[in-house]
Amino acid sequence: MNYLNNVDAVIHLASFPRQKIVSQNPIVAANVMGTGLINLLNLTKKYNIPKFIYISSSMVYGDFDNDVTEDSICAPIGQYGIMKYMGEWLVEDHTRQGHFDHTIIRPSAVYGESDVEDRVVSKFMLAAMRGQTLRVKGANEVLDFTYVEDTAMGIALAATKQIAANKIYNITRADTKLYTLLDAANIAVSIAGKGQIIVEDKDKDFPSRGRLCIDRAIKDLEYYPQVNVEQGFYKYYQWFRTSDYWSKLL
């Protein structure tokens, strides 16, 4: 029996996880983010799977201010954002050819359990818990920090609601309060009760970002993120403390 014949949707999250890694390995990244995506698209077509969910990134917008919508012009900065945007076009082209419906998700600054160690919130939290220095590259840079459970909920809603067919959704916390990188570092130090903060210049390879608009996701998907930044950081802290793996490395 071919179990692929009973699949309702493909949810494609596999990718190089961030700008820094893509910049260090652009050829391998292009193979993973380009060829890997095309392989999945072709398999989705081959087995007549009706829906393809592509996890893109807020990095496709490039520099943007607060409340950017899905209809805003995309001007990605750096190879990660460019490759993510290229992926969107490849997915949309398969729908144009009539192979399947798609939904594109643009998350931002996702953090939480089981993340890699080298992303901003995990770096801040682990450095604070170890009593080390948190290096803030651009104190006033705003990120739309989104707890992983809220991101997962948004993806699940988009994958299971017909209204999401062939649409793009920002899936983020979209908190009314803006949080900067310095705010994030201060919250991590406050929760851990230790750690020092050093402010450095902004990384020129990263775009300046803000809060995304999630009105479309609220209207279509009834997507209401549940975990605010302080709650999410504390949940993440507790997970590190109780993890059999991480507790030995703190």
Mind listing the pLDDT tens digit for each residue in 26-78?
A: 898 888 899 999 999 999 999 999 999 999 999 999 999 899 999 999 999 98
| Cβ atoms of 129 and 192 closer than 8 Å | yes
In whole angstroms, give the CA distance from residue 63 to residue 74.
9
Instruction: Tell me the torsion sign for CA atoms 199, 204, 206, 210.
Output: positive
Is pLDDT at 248 greater than 90 in this prediction?
Answer: no
Q: pLDDT at position 190, please? A: 98
Q: Kindly indicate the confidence band of residue 2, based on its pLDDT and cuts at 50, 70 and 90.
A: low
Distance CA 204, CA 146 (A): 23
**Tell me, what's the pLDDT at 15?**
84
Q: How many CB atoms lie within 10 A of CB 73?
A: 8
Topology, domain 7-248: Rossmann fold (3.40.50)
pLDDT tens digits, one per residue of 140-163: 999 999 999 999 999 999 999 999
Q: Distance between CA atoms of 55 and 234, rounded to whole angstroms?
A: 26
Please enumerate, as own/partner, the contacts of 117-120 that have beta carbons within 8 Å and a separation of 24 or more: 118/18, 118/20, 119/17, 119/18, 120/181, 120/184
Average the pLDDT over each of 63-67, 134-138, 230-234 and give the range with the smallest value. 63-67
Summarize the confidence of residues 114-136 as an average pLDDT.
95
pLDDT band for 16, please (50, 70, 90 cuts): confident
Asked if residue 108 lies in contact with residue 58, where contact means CB atoms within 8 angstroms, the answer is yes
Overall average pLDDT of the 10-23 stretch: 85
Contact between residue 16 and residue 80 where contact means Cβ atoms under 8 Å apart: yes
Distance CA 52, CA 56 (A): 12
- What would the mean pLDDT of 210-235 be, rounded to a whole number? 97
Indicate whether 5 pLDDT > 80: no
Q: How high is the pLDDT of residue 228? A: 97
Tell me what pLDDT residue 148 has: 97
* Chain mean pLDDT for the chain: 94
Give dist(CA 230, CA 227) in Å, integer. 8
Q: Residue 1 pLDDT > 50, yes or no?
A: no
Q: How far apart are the first and last CA of the chain?
A: 47
The kind and range of the H/E element at 216 are helix 215-221
SS (H, E, C) 52-114: EEEECCHHHHCCCCCCECCCCCCCCCCHHHHHHHHHHHHHHHHHHCCCCEEEEEEECCEECCC
